[in-house]
Amino acid sequence: MTDAIDATENPTPRRNPKPETTKIAGRELKPSTLMMGHGYDPTLSEGSLKPPIFLTSTFAFPSAADGKRHFEGITGQRPGGAEGLVYSRFNAPNQEILEDRLAIWDGAEEALSFSSGMTAIAILMLAACKAGDVIVHSGPLYAASEGFVAKIMAKYGVTYIDFPAGATPEELDEVMKKAKAQAEEQGGEVPLIYLESPGNPTNALVDIEAVQQARDAHFDADRCPIAIDNTFLGPLWQRPLDHGADLVVYSLTKYVGGHSDLVAGSISGRKRFIDAIRALRNTMGGIVDPNTAWMLLRSLETVELRMQRAGENAEKVCAFLKAHPKVEGLGYLGLIEDERQQDIYNRHCLGAGSTFSVFLKGGEAECFRFLDNLKIAKLAVSLGGTETLASHPASMTHLSVPHARRQQLGISDSLVRISIGIEDADDLIADFEQALEHV
């Protein structure tokens, strides 16, 4: 290769350089500091302190040789990926900055952004699997994820084996053995272990470290990544890559976006797996749009503040609810009653989060009276926004789950799911108190 086609000599204008360091004088900077500038060079954008939104579908090459070199990277003919921007289905400045900053939070090698959490999950599964393969997954999963595995992947000859979130090392060992046998029978492999922890809406935690041990005992770690949906606790309260996961999946729609005003998703983790997912995203599309990427950059500046405040609020609200005579129980990670779950929490979690379930005495009628009388908390699905939301999973998000499976997963008619926001905690408690009076 001659110097003339060395893109480092002729960098594509306005492509933000890969950030070189996250350190100052040997000190590793914290994510909350890096969110203000990491991966963005104002001198490439007229000195604009904040990145402009780049509304363009394509990027002009400085020379034909640069164009060729970029395509060699995009198509994988040369390792290392694209060195400049080519076309907005592959990447663009706002998305690059976002991906660099998302990787920081999880301590990941690389990150990818998507137009929704489900786009991320769907592309992950499609990239990992071929006909005959078996996906091993924890249960419960987000309903659309569970449906994607069971119904969509099934159309392509991919089957699954699931295990309950709290499974012990012995149970996990059995699950892996079963999956291996099933894959051999179908002429495939086990190319993906897919976790969600805590599970929605029960908050049951998966022992990621035990899953890694079971995976390593039965499969090649380089061919069978452990991916985990970290939407409920990430990026602040659970760092799955530190505990043996290879990939972390998010619905950025929730805590990371944090204002209930956008839909987006991401995957971050080990480069070798990210590369395969990026290749499929390049082909299919599904990258987040520049405007949403820009909004997420703003969100990332406050994600730590928002999550801390929401977490403190949830702790106060749960202390109130726990003592209330009309409350039967709580599914809150700050008040775990099961020894094994507490052990997983202690090893994996840095905070209890702000999304939990409350079991009221009674059933659907009592829950509906409670929900219909809330004045501050809004009656809506979703979570992780600045505002407090409440919903009834059995009749809403999990209505499509068969009754028997709902019972098995602990999604009873008396369960109300609450996502606490950043309002004043005492105002929230007053709201829950008056709504409970109507029950």
Binding site residues, ligand PLP, CB under 6 A: 116-118, 142, 145, 196, 200, 229, 231-232, 251, 253-254, 263, 265
Which of 292, 412 has the CB closer to ligand PLP? 292
- Shortest distance (Å) from residue 264 CB to ligand PLP: 6
- Shortest distance (Å) from residue 261 CB to ligand PLP: 13
Query: Cβ distance 142 to 278 under 8 Å?
Result: no
- Shortest distance (Å) from residue 8 CB to ligand PLP: 37
Which of 342, 382 has the CB closer to ligand PLP? 382
Q: How far apart are CA 327 and CA 337, in angstroms?
A: 16
Query: Cβ distance 252 to 119 under 8 Å?
Result: no
The secondary structure of residue 150, as a DSSP letter, is: I
- Shortest distance (Å) from residue 149 CB to ligand PLP: 13
- Shortest distance (Å) from residue 116 CB to ligand PLP: 3
Residue 14 backbone phi and psi in degrees, to 5:
70, 0
- Shortest distance (Å) from residue 232 CB to ligand PLP: 6
- Shortest distance (Å) from residue 128 CB to ligand PLP: 17
Which of 293, 425 has the CB closer to ligand PLP? 293
Which of 232, 356 has the CB closer to ligand PLP? 232
- Name 319's Cβ contacts closer than 8 Å, sequence gap at least 6: none
Segment holding 426, helix H or strand E: helix 425-437
Query: Cβ distance 354 to 311 under 8 Å?
Result: yes
Query: Cβ distance 357 to 203 under 8 Å?
Result: yes
Which of 236, 327 has the CB closer to ligand PLP? 236
Q: How far apart are CA 434 and CA 428, in angstroms?
A: 10
- Name 428's Cβ contacts closer than 8 Å, sequence gap at least 6: 313, 316, 317, 376, 377, 388, 420
Q: Which residues of 149-174 are buried (b: 16+ CB within 10 A; e: fewer)?
A: beeebeeeebbbbbbbbbbeeeebbe
Q: How far apart are CA 76 and CA 78, in angstroms?
A: 5
Which of 203, 412 has the CB closer to ligand PLP? 203
Which of 253, 313 has the CB closer to ligand PLP? 253
Which of 117, 393 has the CB closer to ligand PLP? 117
The dihedral over CA atoms of 248, 251, 253, 255, expressed in degrees to the nearest 10, equals: -50
Query: For ligand PLP, which residue has the nearest CB?
Result: 117
- Shortest distance (Å) from residue 411 CB to ligand PLP: 14
